[in-house]
């Protein structure tokens, strides 16, 4: 199981842990989204800046992006959370790319040695932005792995940058919209926003499954 499947499991475990903590310690009354977002807004521009900076650094340290994405939805809501998360994730992916290409090529190669980087390099050299777009929209590789891996390929940085930004939008929006209503759910309120977010997460998660199914049908030999 890879990519979105693992993300769903991690997200479910995270929600379960938070839900149990809320029930055990009686924190429900403190988990009001509007109150929390008003508190974040009191910091002015520094709240979003701090979040974007943290998200920008995290991929280079191999920190999973899902918890940060959830935090973005909780703290900033579906619209602003999507924007800040997308900006932070794109900057973070770009920094990891540049580290792999110019500063840590030998170290990164040792980390991913024996992987499918050679095939990725070949495809990136032939297709350019198309392979970046494909792997972002249909995440068959882990996000942090891809950031470094593309830095070791022949894909141009500008192609990598814009394709990463554009084709991460569906996944980012899905998870941010979903997580933006988590606090309401923990307080026992099932909002329409949560249902929409859950539907988006399921749709995004099914993209690789549908792709493999379609690909399997295409290459299946006819009797």
- Determine the Cα–Cα distance for residues 15 and 186; give it in Å rounded to an integer: 9
- Say what the pTM is: 0.74
Q: How confident is the model at residue 22 (pLDDT cuts 50, 70, 90)?
A: very low
- Determine the Cα–Cα distance for residues 84 and 79; give it in Å rounded to an integer: 9
- Residue in 218, 206, 207 with CA at minimum distance from that of residue 137: 207
Q: What does R_g of the chain's alpha carbons equal in angstroms?
A: 19
Structure tokens at 205: 């998660």
Is residue 210's pLDDT more than 80? no
Task: Read off the pLDDT of residues 65-118 as tens digits, 9 standing for 90 and up.
Answer: 888 888 888 889 899 999 999 999 999 999 999 988 887 666 666 665 666 666
Task: Read off the pLDDT of residues 149-177 as tens digits, 9 standing for 90 and up.
Answer: 888 887 889 999 999 999 999 989 998 99
Share of the chain above pLDDT 70, in %: 65
Domain span at residue 152?
4-219
Q: State how many domains the chain has.
A: 1
């Amino acid at each position: 199981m890879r990519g979105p499947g693992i993300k769903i499991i991690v997200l479910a475990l995270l929600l379960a842990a938070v839900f149990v903590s809320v029930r055990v310690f009686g924190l429900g009354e403190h988990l009001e989204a509007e109150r929390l977002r008003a508190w974040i807004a009191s910091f002015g521009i520094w709240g979003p800046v701090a979040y974007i900076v943290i998200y920008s650094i995290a991929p280079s340290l191999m920190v999973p992006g899902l918890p940060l994405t959830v935090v973005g939805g909780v703290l900033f809501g579906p619209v602003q959370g999507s924007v800040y998360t997308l900006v932070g994730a794109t900057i973070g992916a770009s920094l990891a790319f540049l580290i792999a290409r110019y500063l840590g090529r030998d170290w990164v190669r040792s980390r991913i040695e024996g992987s499918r980087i050679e095939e990725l390099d070949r495809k990136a050299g032939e297709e350019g932005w198309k392979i970046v777009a494909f792997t972002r929209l249909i995440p068959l590789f882990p996000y942090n792995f891809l950031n470094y891996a593309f830095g070791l390929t022949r894909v141009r940085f500008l192609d990598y940058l814009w394709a990463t930004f554009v084709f991460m939008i569906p996944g980012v929006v899905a998870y941010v919209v979903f997580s933006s209503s988590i606090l309401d759910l923990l307080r026992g309120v099932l909002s329409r926003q949560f249902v929409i977010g859950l539907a988006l997460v399921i749709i995004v998660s099914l993209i690789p499954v549908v792709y493999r199914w379609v690909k399997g049908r295409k290459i299946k030999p006819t009797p």
